[in-house]
Amino acid sequence: MTTSPTAHLAALSAAGLQRLQSFLNDGSCLLAFDFDGTLAPIVAHPESARTPLPVIRAMEPLLRTHEVAVLSGRSVEDLMTRLGFEAHHLIGNHGAEDPACPLSLQRAPAYRARLDGIRAAVASTWSAALVAQGVRMEDRGLSLGFHYRLSRQRDAARRLIAELLAAEGQGIRAFDGKLVINVVSVDAPDKVQALQSLMTRRGLTRVLYAGDDASDEQVFRQHQDPDWFTLRVGGDARLSAATFHLNATSDMPMFLAACQRRCSRLQ
Ligand SMILES: [Mg+2]
């Protein structure tokens, strides 16, 4: 019998682990993870992020029992340099970049070109104002990230970014991350669509999805059914739409080890 999800259940509680066991013992289950703040701790300088060794070690047995996907706001190329293990599927740029999907590859140049106006404006008329507010633009190819983590006046920095996007952005979608505003082409797939496309292509019907910020909440909100094990990492569990909660990124090795123990009969 399938039970309905219990809201905000601690993933490492006895009840959470019991649910995890029943969920994982199905070979068609995809294990999908966000990267920054989920597998790797958030750091002041995004280029310094790396998957911690305990996470890599705990992930390795799961790579033999399940298909594993990592979805990130980073480009796939960037992700590969810092992941530290070979996931079966890498999806970048918040869902816009899926190298294994022919349709995604075909549309990528248009997604990239849609951001050219903003790139040009940031390099010219907006450059000094962004520097003065401590805002740094990260160009990931199919998405842009305006980081204001290092700004001394974060509200003013957010206002400046909003002004810039209102003036220079056309046909775009902007959304919050952790102290970053992300920008993609309005018609680019998001994480939800990219995950669904991957599951369809691979014939997978169930997914464990772990994430830590607003873009992951979009996935949690749309999938509150028993075929999804949604896990919010960090933050206030009461504000999350995920069914399960993990206190912090540093608990991820423990969670992965628990996954491995509970799907050992598949090995
Ligand atoms: Mg994240």
The answer on 90 and 200 residing in a single domain is: yes
Which residue, chain included where needed, has tokens 């509680």? 13
Residue pair 249/234 in contact by the 8 Å Cβ criterion: yes
Write down the pLDDT at residue 262. 85
CA 265 to centroid of ligand 1, rounded, Å: 31
Rounded Cα gap, residues 148 and 81, in angstroms = 24
The answer on 90 and 197 residing in a single domain is: yes
Q: Which of 136, 162, 185 is the last residue of a domain?
A: 185
Write down the pLDDT at residue 28. 82
The pLDDT averaged over each successive group of 10 residues in the chain (267 residues) is: 57 93 83 97 90 98 95 96 98 96 94 97 96 96 95 97 96 93 96 94 94 91 87 92 96 96 65
Q: Note if the pTM is more than 0.85.
A: yes
Residue pair 190/94 in contact by the 8 Å Cβ criterion: yes
CA 82 to centroid of ligand 1, rounded, Å: 14
CA 35 to centroid of ligand 1, rounded, Å: 6
CA 30 to centroid of ligand 1, rounded, Å: 18
Is residue 1 included in any domain, yes or no? no
CA 38 to centroid of ligand 1, rounded, Å: 6
The answer on 227 and 123 residing in a single domain is: no
Write down the pLDDT at residue 266. 47
Helix (H, G, I), strand (E, B) or coil at 175: strand
Write down the pLDDT at residue 143. 97
CA 229 to centroid of ligand 1, rounded, Å: 17
Among 96, 105, 165, 170, residue whose Cα is nearest residue 137: 165
CA 85 to centroid of ligand 1, rounded, Å: 18
The answer on 181 and 195 residing in a single domain is: no
Q: Which of 132, 155, 185 is the last residue of a domain?
A: 185
CA 124 to centroid of ligand 1, rounded, Å: 30
How far CA 1 is from CA of 28, 107, 115, 129, 243, in Å, comes to 18, 43, 49, 59, 18
Give residues with Cβ within 8 angstroms of 135, minimum separation 6: 146, 147, 148, 151, 157, 160, 161
Which residue, chain included where needed, has tokens 């996907």? 69
The answer on 203 and 151 residing in a single domain is: no
State the Cα angle at 195 between 255 and 219, rounded to 5°: 70
Can you say how many angstroms the Cα of residue 257 is from the centroid of all Cα atoms in its chain? Answer: 21
Query: What is the tally of structural domains in the chain?
Result: 2
Q: Which of 185, 204, 233 is the last residue of a domain?
A: 185
State the Cα angle at 179 between 39 and 235, rounded to 5°: 55
Specify the CATH number for the domain of residue 79.
Answer: 3.40.50.1000
The answer on 230 and 114 residing in a single domain is: no
Q: Which domain holds residue 169?
A: 107-185
CA 43 to centroid of ligand 1, rounded, Å: 11
Residue pair 215/6 in contact by the 8 Å Cβ criterion: no
The answer on 49 and 36 residing in a single domain is: yes
CA 73 to centroid of ligand 1, rounded, Å: 8
Tokens of 78: 């960037």
Helix locations, the chain, DSSP H: 14-24, 53-65, 76-83, 102-113, 116-123, 127-132, 154-168, 191-202, 214-222, 252-262
| Phi, psi of 241, deg, nearest 5 | -90, 0
Residue pair 5/238 in contact by the 8 Å Cβ criterion: no
CA 125 to centroid of ligand 1, rounded, Å: 31
CA 211 to centroid of ligand 1, rounded, Å: 6
| Phi, psi of 185, deg, nearest 5 | -65, 140
